Structure 1
Amino acid sequence: MQRLTILERDHNDLRRRYAEQQLRLVQMENRLDALLAARSAPQGTHRNEHLDIARQYSVCVEQRVQSFVRTAESLGQRSDARLRSIGRVCAVLFGVESPTVGAVLTAVGRARLDPLADSAAQLCDRASDLRRRAQGTGIPFSWDFELVPGDLLDPAWQEAWPPCDPDLPALSVVAPAYLVAEQVYTKQRVQTGIAITV
């Protein structure tokens, strides 16, 4: 009886893995179709639109998100904690399809009825607008949060968030890269340093 239970568990595990592989295959096929469609589309206008989106995305992160986090943080908060807060807000704004005010406030440790709710709503609207504009071009795009903590930065698509040292290992993503048809339009901004383990 125990052998049958083990075989059934292994069978269910194999079915789950097979379903995951099928999903990955469909996603890869869809991505390939989108890339092929993007190559056949007129690029001049779309490229200019994505360049403008990339510029506005950088302004959003460097000015609006950073200002929001500074306003929300407690007195005496260390700069590394501030960078992690900026990263959490960016994960809410650009890591999900529809960011919410509650999630932005939670990212900075504030309650849903906080006076910063209006500012959080403006950030959500800005991120949603950038996403809509990018989707409107029909060219595949993404905000890339992928990072291996402890790896050195890849200057082709990553840069250290000032004043972090670009020669130190990566700790966390502060702001994701903005990629359009696998090309870097805005580099990933990364907190670097030496991880201290206890």
Structure 2
Amino acid sequence: MLTRAVEERSQQTAMLHARVATLEVENSQLRAQNAALQLSLMGRDASTTPSSALLIMRREPWETAPKNAPSTCLADEILQGFIASVRTGNFLSATGVMERAAAYSLKPKLCSLIEPDRSAEDDISNVVADIVRSYPEIETLPKQVAVFWNMALLLKWMVLLDQQSWDLMPEWLRPTPSQRETPHAAWIDRIPWRGRLFIGAKSTC
């Protein structure tokens, strides 16, 4: 009897742990969807980019963002909305490059990913952490950290478009000239080189 009771209790505990894990994933997805909704309401009218005819013909590579098509998935919607809202705020406040960079940590804050109940002071880390946790396919912590780190570095550069953020990215993550000239889905930018070149060439976006 005692053995059976222990087995039943163990099964109940395992089921409870599985349910908690499922609820954590669902919670992250809901937070990501809520962020997407808020950002879409904030930046729907301000997400347009200047005409290419008005852009400076010769620029440093870090000064030109990838030419992204409209969002095709929830992660793209959140990230593109975040970028649009921050750039709009920077434009309206007319702050300098150094002041804008000071608003974010030099490197991603891992506490945003590892401690879900604790928000970092860095908004970029918080947004990316919510997205990474919403994907059950990224099941192990090492994978989550790798995706989080690279996605946060890329997002920071796309927000600031400055040399410091560009230099912090590994070379295989930096957008290529074709990404800055050819419209494509935003998720392609998060794929390591050279794979994204092949996908970008095949993309119909």
Q: Same fold (TM over 0.5)?
A: no
Higher relative contact order (CA 8 A, sep 6+): 2
Normalised to the residue count of structure 1, the TM-score between the two structures is 0.31
Normalised to the residue count of structure 2, the TM-score between the two structures is 0.30
Bigger proportion of residues as helix? 2
